Structure 1
Amino acid sequence: MSYTLLAAVAVPVALLVDLVVARTRVVLTAQWWIAYAITLAGQLAVNGWLTGRRIVTYDDSAILGSNHEQFMGDWRIYYAPVEDLGFGFALVLLTIVAWRRWNAAADRRRATGR
């Protein structure tokens, strides 16, 4: 399975978990989008440094575009393949959803005295 396909699956799965399974509805809040924008800035900086220096490389057949060092274009953003944005989004969203669910469960336990 290619990196592109995995990224294309990760985003809708994360959204499904947030909106339907866990029903936390994190992505419907302004707080999420502000926090994600901050996270995205850091992700782009780190990804750009790692891929721009060729510390991390990708197989051309697994990503959109090519594996040439390119700052922007050819499906690259700050040297990193665009698929990294999908994975980062899914990873951060699922982490926040899990955190909110666990906190809600802990609040319920405290309320019932268990």
Structure 2
Amino acid sequence: MVPEYTLMTILGMVVVIGLEVFVFRSGIFRRAKYWVALAICLGFQCLVDGWLTKLTDPIVIYNPSQFLNLRFPWDIPIEDFGFGFAMITSVLMMWQWQLNRLQKGTE
């Protein structure tokens, strides 16, 4: 059985990718700016999440039965990166989709 946090992370990633590819088609996956923004956000996520989840003195504690307990780098649960990807991508996707709609309206 897949742990709940892992399942929800995978589901979130699949839903966001599906929405981009089949519904919104904002084109962000083809833009270098998206990948740079994602790398910047995930870089800062490593700093903050690493501090929050460090095993030596955690601020956030995860129930071991709810995630895979794979931690990288430092002590960050691997699922946190999928969640971050889904959250960042959904916001940027909607933002770019709205910009695309506005640009089509002014042509």
TM-score by length of 1: 0.81
Task: Return 5+ residue gaps in structure 1 as ranges.
Answer: 66-74
Counterpart residue number, 2:61 = 57
Which stretches of structure 1, 4 residues or longer, exceed 4 Å deviation after superposition?
none
Q: Is the 8 A contact 2:24 2:93 kept in 1?
A: yes
Q: Among 78, 98, 104, which residue is 1:82 paired with? A: 78
Which secondary structure state, in structure 2, belongs to the residue aligned with residue 37 of structure 1? helix
**RMSD of Structure 2 on Structure 1 (CA):** 1.7
Shift of 1:36: 0.9
The alpha carbon displacement at 1:96 in A equals 0.2
| Other structure's SS at 1:57 match | coil
TM-score, length of structure 2 as denominator length: 0.85
Q: Which residue of the partner structure matches residue 91 of structure 1?
A: 87
SS in 2 for 1:55: coil
Structure having greater relative contact order (Cα 8 Å, sep ≥ 6): 2
Q: Identity rate of aligned residues, in percent? A: 32
* Richer in strand (by share): 1
Larger radius of gyration: 1
